[in-house]
Amino acid sequence: MFQAFYPGEYVDSTYEIDFEEFYKKGYRGVIFDIDNTLVPHGAPADDRSRKLIASLKEMGYSVFLLSNNKEARVKVFNEGQNLDYIHKAGKPFRKNYRRAMEKMGTTTENTLFVGDQLFTDVWGAKRTGMHNILVKPIHPREEIQIVLKRKLERVVLKEYAKKIEKNKKIS
């Protein structure tokens, strides 16, 4: 029933994703959400996020920020990193996922999306046809509309966990 919202993968943190392995598999672009994906909500880029982005660029990835936030927020995070971005992206609509790939010169087959919300980040990436990775939010402090969505996410993720467990028993 909720399969349309199931993530491609679900991990604890952006910082545990094996981007080298994805690179070996042919991925060349990574699109990130910012808040609670790379840093706590509203925070500027920190050493950890800067190191990750620098290492991805060094590896050969194109890195892009896709955020539903206002431009001022995205600029604060992007300061000194010179990443392309789209603010007020309208996720989960597919248009700006496609624009991001176009700007990076990548396709759905070789682009990853990493975000912390099912109903915007993951669903939009999934509808666009790209591999997506849902990460657990970095920090519990969030805006009220996100807190309400998290309650619905828990229902979907519970069903997703049952599916994963069932598949483990079968294999």
pLDDT of residue 140: 65
Cα–Cα nearest to 31, from 136, 119, 103:
103
pLDDT of residue 62: 98
pLDDT of residue 153: 84
How does residue 1 score in pLDDT terms, banded at 50, 70 and 90?
low
Two tokens at 75? 């600029």
Q: Write the CA distances from 95 to 11, 127, 169, integer angstroms.
A: 26, 11, 38
Residue 54 and residue 63: Cα distance in Å, rounded? 9
Domains annotated for the chain, with CATH where assigned, are 3-170 (3.40.50.1000)
Average pLDDT, the chain: 92
What is the chain's alpha carbon radius of gyration, rounded to the nearest angstrom? Answer: 15
- The residue-averaged pLDDT of 36-50 equals 95
Residue-wise pLDDT tens digits, 61-96: 999 999 999 999 999 999 999 999 999 999 999 999
Q: Tell whether pTM > 0.85.
A: yes
Residue-wise pLDDT tens digits, 44-66: 999 999 999 999 999 999 999 99
Does 40 score more than 70 pLDDT? yes
Does 170 score more than 90 pLDDT? no
